Amino acid sequence: MAILNTGVPQGGARILPYSEERRRFQRVKVNLLGRYMLPDRREFPCQVVNMSPGGMAVVAPVSPQIGERVIAYIDHVGRLEGVTTRHFENGFASTIGATMRKRDKLAAQLTWLANRHLLASPEDRRHGRYVPRNPMTMLIMPNGVNIGCRLIDVSLSGAAVATDQRPPMGALVTIGKVQGRVVRHLDDGFAVEFLRLQHPDFLEESITGG
């Protein structure tokens, strides 16, 4: 995928072959959500699991054809465009074509993303999870269907639910009264990151819909 610089004439961004990209750039493990668009203009949610200034690996429900261009909007990074280089289970890899200036900017962003857990203040770090007193709640799926489910654990920033449903990565769901998006699939359910940090005094009331 390639970061586009709208101030650069068409053809200014160079897309490297995948093998060259792998040699030149070190990949960083990330967990970034976003959406991507195929050439036929269909859009799907996705999750970037590793990235370098020259390419990325994307967990996605539909993989483009090898050599096909895709456009993506990724959290913390922005608009990306590039060419699909290979497929793997549940996703695809793509190059990033960009000017050197854009590559330098992306490298700085990746350094920040890789180290933000070290830079964060204690209150900004991942909140401790626990099992609520009442683990049963209602879940509103992306299609609006209500289903009952069991809370595996919760925190001020997210929850894990036990269910046989598997909404796609990035899909919006509502647990009790709290809206969030799917960030990970589990063996017995999925994990959700809340759109807003919850107040500790009202978390269980909000999450169980009481």
- Per-residue pLDDT tens over the stretch 136-178: 999 999 888 999 999 998 988 889 999 998 898 888 999 998 9
**When comparing pLDDT for 1 and 94, which is higher?**
94
CATH topology of domain 132-208: Thrombin, subunit H (2.40.10)
Ramachandran area for residue 11 (φ above 0: left; ψ -120 to 50: alpha; else beta) = left
pLDDT score of 17 more than 50 = no
Q: Provide the whole-model pTM.
A: 0.49
Give the pairing type, strands 146-154 and 158-162: antiparallel
- For the chain, the structural domain boundaries read 18-117, 132-208
Tell me the pLDDT of the chain averaged across its residues: 79
**Cβ proximity of 63 and 121 under 8 Å:** no
Q: Which CATH architecture has domain 18-117?
A: Beta Barrel (2.40)
Q: What angle do CA 64, 172, 40 make, to 5 degrees?
A: 25
Query: Tell me, what's the pLDDT at 169?
Result: 86
pLDDT tens column, 37-69: 999 999 898 888 889 988 999 999 999 999 999
Predicted local confidence at residue 87, as pLDDT: 94
Residue 22 has pLDDT above 90, yes or no: no
- Give the mean pLDDT of 90-107: 86
Exposure letters 119-146 (e unless 16+ CB within 10 A, then b): eeeeeeeebeeeebeebebebbebeeee
Per the structure block, which two tokens stand in for 14? 């160079």
184 forms bridges with which residues in the sheet?
191
Q: How far is CA 75 from CA 35, 80, 128, 193, in A?
A: 9, 11, 24, 14
